[in-house]
Chain A
Amino acid sequence: MKKLFFSTAVMVLAMIFIVACGGGEESAAEGDCSSEEVFCVGLVTDVGQIDDKSFNQSAWEGVQAAEAELGAQIDFVETKDATDYLANIDLFVEQNYDVIVTVGFALGEATAEAAAANPDIKFIGVDQFQVEPVGNLAGLIFNEDKAGYLAGALAAMLSDSGTIAAVLGTDLVPPVVAFKEGYEAGALSINPDINLISTYHPGGLDVAFTDPEWGASTAAQAMDQGADVIFGAGGITGNGALIEVAGSEGTFCIGVDTDQWETVPEAQPCLVSSAMKLITPGVLGLVTQAQEGSFPSGNFFGEVGLADFHEFDDQVSQDIKDTLSDIETGLGDGSISTGYSP
């Protein structure tokens, strides 16, 4: 028995060495980021994973697009602990990356600090509002309230029962609050008597976006009291709500952030549209500008809007579509205000 243990250990070690020697060249293929020819883009996530079906993933897809379109060399670091933001940014700084993307308002301070210390590197802060613009730092921010406003207007026009709902992440995260306020204002602009029921997740930051069971149960609770359009805005928690609504005939759901027709296919039976903040093209645009040497500093507003109606295109009448495009114009030229101020 004991012999067995040692021989297993020896075998494992041998395997490790074989693999180690075989895989040694992998890193040699990568270019040197400090050279002029190689354009390197790195991304630091907020606490969570790169494949979170939410903002980390959208931003990463923008960086991946930069790889495809600009030939950039890309990599990412996943943050496990909020105290590591600066250390993780430094991993890219040490390698002389040309552009570093940091995702989430929580990284704002660390990003500003790193930008001040490394004036030669361009920084893109997703969801990071810049109070005092720094030359090599662009905050990619969104008017989530406008996307929410459109979603609310759509919901109010689709609703037969006169009750619409929103299942949200937490009010500790400003974009979620913006989505909610916009949604409610948009719905009231269509129907001032509409019954709006919306709720935040009761837990803290660490659970509010990863609690799909609560999302599903809350969506059911809203449907039980007549809500027939439900806006799910809160990462995976919101996705739980969308999937729940998908099982209920004659009820619509509206996704958030990206076109969730693609990211949450289980919700397709109810998903009429999504209130989008287009992080992916926003990141790609800024990276492109960085490469071209026309990098903007300060705040850069990314695009927001409603996603395609996909298979619901027939059910959304031309009237609704016209109203939505009027609202979009109004929001654009400032004649319509969402009433939201952070």
Chain B
Amino acid sequence: MADPNPSDSRILRIWDSFKSRIPEIWSSISVPVVAVIISLLIGAIILLISGSNPLRAYGALLEGALGDAGGIRRTLEKATPLIFSGLAVAFAFKAGLFNIGAQGQLIFGALVASIVGFGISGIPAIIHVPLALIAGATAGALYGAIPGALRTFTGAHEVITTIMLNYIALNITDYLANGPLKDPTPGNIVARTPKIFDSAVIPDLPFIEWLPLGFVVACLMASITWWLLWRTTLGYEIRTVGQNPNAARYAGMRVAQTVILTMVISGLLAGLGGAVETQGIVYRFQPGFNVNLGFDGITIALLGKTSPFGVIPAALLVGAMRAGASQMQFRADVATEIIDVIQAIILFLVAADMIIRWIIRQRAAAGDGISLSSGWGSNS
């Protein structure tokens, strides 16, 4: 495109167009890449100070996360629920809503998917798997609707209500798993539901053993979310409401309805994440599992700059670090908390991208920074 002389060969043309795009591509990935490198360096300094060997630690981390097919699978499995909860939080951010409640929506999704999984038998997997997934997603959506409706009809701030709803969800699910839904298998003393039937378990893909199907579903949902936000009227309304609720109202948009619908979709994404976790990893609902996955969604959404496609690499990065954490602790005797420190520094550097751009001498594109907390201060 930038080449003034038209080339003869098509391949050359493509190459030229690619070449002309390199700065653009570099500009979009340079900040995260450099951020990760700097964070690893700072992490290395901390490891050195406390007398550990950073190379050995990072080597073990990498080996655990990507060393073999099992490691890659574990990384993808860890990334899957993070993508879902990251999408849930990012989606709500677009409408100016801060959904701290992804955790509650996720565990309700996980619980309901398990109920459908062990409660219904004798149907083929092709029906049972999607049925349980849909049930989990619906549970999350309904639970997400509560703060949306409260916000719209009473003005109760979603930050308060979602924090409260998280605790409520925790109490209810704990009670159910230790009471009416407790696994009746003889000798069982553990608070957990029965195991789901094999027909509700998300099957493996043929031939590609390292790729969990749940991860594919997660990526699919990211694409759908992107499409919804950027290619539909609803998405346009959601973004407008997020940027300027008054303008949205002036333009005749149904702000109240949009707020509720946003929370419903956000909850649906989180609930589906819980269902995938139940049907793909845990095979039942058990207190002590699914801890913090919803809260992690906040970090993932921010790392991914609240974009549906940004969420995927962010979740992969964090997923890989978690998948390799045990290996690192085992082989290099390093406390796994170092990962949190590295993660915090990455997040800081990605957000404060001007620091990195100054280091690599790159100008920021207009409107490149992330801004979402203006949504917190909406005065509706």
Task: Please judge, given known A-B contacts A20-B53, A80-B326, whether A204 and B287 are in contact too, CB under 8 Å.
Answer: yes
Q: Shortest CB–CB separation between residue A88 and chain B, in angstroms?
A: 5
- State the main secondary structure of chain A at its contact with B: helix
Q: Shortest CB–CB separation between residue B205 and chain A, in angstroms?
A: 20
Contacts of B329 in A (CB 8 A): 77-78
Q: Pick from A5, A174, A202, A203: contact of B189, CB below 8 A.
A: A174
Q: Pick from A13, A78, A131, A172: contact of B287, CB below 8 A.
A: A172
B282 engages A129 (CB within 8 Å): no
B281 engages A203 (CB within 8 Å): no
Closest chain A residue to B191 by CB distance? A172
Q: Pick from B70, B74, B289: contact of A82, CB below 8 A.
A: B289
- Cβ of A87 under 8 Å from chain B: yes
A window 86-129: CB within 8 A of B:
87-88, 91, 105-106, 108, 129
- A 13-37 to B, binary, CB cutoff 8 A, 1 in contact else 0: 1011101100100010000000000
Task: Please judge, given known A-B contacts A172-B174, A204-B174, whether A84 and B190 are in contact too, CB under 8 Å.
Answer: no
Q: Shortest CB–CB separation between residue A311 and chain B, in angstroms?
A: 36
B325 engages A20 (CB within 8 Å): no
Contacts of A9 in B (CB 8 A): 41
Closest chain B residue to A205 by CB distance? B288
- Cβ of B6 under 8 Å from chain A: no
- Cβ of A171 under 8 Å from chain B: yes
Q: Shortest CB–CB separation between residue A238 and chain B, in angstroms?
A: 19
- Cβ of A12 under 8 Å from chain B: yes
Pick the most buried of B53, B331, B359: most chain A CB atoms within 10 A of its CB.
B53
Contacts of A23 in B (CB 8 A): 53, 56
Task: Please judge, given known A-B contacts A83-B281, A108-B190, whether A47 and B55 are in contact too, CB under 8 Å.
Answer: no
- Cβ of B48 under 8 Å from chain A: yes
Q: Tally A residues with Cβ within 8 Å of B.
A: 40
- Cβ of B246 under 8 Å from chain A: no
B window 53-74: CB within 8 A of A:
53-56, 70, 74
**CA of A78 to CA of B331 in the docked complex: distance in angstroms?**
12
**CA of A171 to CA of B179 in the docked complex: distance in angstroms?**
11
Closest chain A residue to B173 by CB distance? A204
Task: Please judge, given known A-B contacts A16-B48, A16-B54, A172-B174, whether A83 and B189 are in contact too, CB under 8 Å.
Answer: no
- Cβ of B45 under 8 Å from chain A: yes
B window 166-181: CB within 8 A of A:
170-171, 174, 177-178
Q: Pick from A76, A87, A88, A206: contact of B291, CB below 8 A.
A: A206
**CA of A45 to CA of B290 in the docked complex: distance in angstroms?**
18
- Cβ of A81 under 8 Å from chain B: yes
B187 engages A129 (CB within 8 Å): yes
**CA of A129 to CA of B53 in the docked complex: distance in angstroms?**
40
- A 119-148 to B, binary, CB cutoff 8 A, 1 in contact else 0: 000000000010100000000000000000
Task: Please judge, given known A-B contacts A79-B326, A82-B289, A106-B288, whether A131 and B44 are in contact too, CB under 8 Å.
Answer: no
**CA of A19 to CA of B377 in the docked complex: distance in angstroms?**
50
Contacts of A19 in B (CB 8 A): 48, 53-55
**CA of A78 to CA of B359 in the docked complex: distance in angstroms?**
38
Q: Pick from A83, A171, A202: contact of B282, CB below 8 A.
A: A83
**CA of A219 to CA of B190 in the docked complex: distance in angstroms?**
28
- Cβ of B376 under 8 Å from chain A: no
Q: Pick from A5, A83, A129, A172: contact of B359, CB below 8 A.
A: A5
- A 52-77 to B, binary, CB cutoff 8 A, 1 in contact else 0: 00000000000000000000000111
- B 320-333 to A, binary, CB cutoff 8 A, 1 in contact else 0: 00100111011100
- A 235-268 to B, binary, CB cutoff 8 A, 1 in contact else 0: 0000000000000000000000000000000000
Contacts of B48 in A (CB 8 A): 12, 15-16, 19
Q: Shortest CB–CB separation between residue A73 and chain B, in angstroms?
A: 14
**CA of A52 to CA of B172 in the docked complex: distance in angstroms?**
28
Contacts of A84 in B (CB 8 A): 326
Contacts of A79 in B (CB 8 A): 326
Contacts of A131 in B (CB 8 A): 185-187
A91 engages B330 (CB within 8 Å): yes
- B 112-128 to A, binary, CB cutoff 8 A, 1 in contact else 0: 00000000000000000
Pick the most buried of A13, A76, A84: most chain B CB atoms within 10 A of its CB.
A84
- Cβ of A342 under 8 Å from chain B: yes
Closest chain B residue to A131 by CB distance? B187
- Cβ of B336 under 8 Å from chain A: yes
Closest chain B residue to A170 by CB distance? B174
Q: Shortest CB–CB separation between residue B202 and chain A, in angstroms?
A: 14
Other A-B pairs, 11, CB within 8 Å; known A83-B281, A131-B187, A202-B171: A2-B359, A17-B55, A19-B53, A80-B322, A82-B291, A87-B74, A106-B286, A172-B178, A174-B190, A205-B288, A206-B288
Q: Can you give 7 contacting A-B residue pairs, CB < 8 Å? A: A13-B41, A47-B288, A76-B330, A77-B329, A77-B330, A171-B178, A204-B170
